[in-house]
Amino acid sequence: MPPPPSTGKPFLTQTGLASFYGPAHDRKRTANGKDFDHSAFTAAHRSLAFGTLVRVTNLANRRSVTVEITDRGPHIKSRIIDVSMAAAREIGMQRKGIARVKVEAFRAERAGDD
């Protein structure tokens, strides 16, 4: 799992629907040029830079997970983020497939963004 974001304030906060992509997408190329791994803590967002760390909080149960943006999406207009299966499990949304979430984006906290 990516390290939790720093204690600084997020530069972007969004609230809306999240979905996840699972094993059927495993090993397919993502927009950042790397292969998707459903067991990694990653996500797709339409505009955030690759490498951005994002805290995703399921508003129904208040469980949070930190993911790294590695892909573009979601492709369904009503959704704001697609998370990996591992992230979906962490925040308890894998059974329903979608959840109302809060997304908080923090600057990438690793050296040498791709």
Residue closest to 64 by CA, chosen among 42, 86, 91, 38: 91
Domain locations in the chain?
12-106
- CA gap 73, 1 in Å, rounded: 20
Distance between CA 16 and CA 24 in Å, rounded?
24
Mean pLDDT of 64-90: 95
Q: Work out the percent of the chain whose per-residue pLDDT is above 90.
A: 65
Task: Compute φ and ψ for 20, nearest 5 degrees.
Answer: -135, 155
* Sequence-separated (6 or more) residues with CB below 8 Å from residue 62: none
Residue range 21-43: average pLDDT? 82
The mean pLDDT of 35-49, rounded to a whole number, is 92
Q: Which residue has tokens 């050296």? A: 111
What share of the chain in percent tops pLDDT 70?
85
Mean pLDDT, residues 91-113? 83
For 12-106, CATH gives 2.40.40.10
Closest CA to 99 of 110, 87, 114: 87
User: What average pLDDT does the chain have?
Assistant: 88
Q: Provide the pLDDT for residue 4.
A: 66
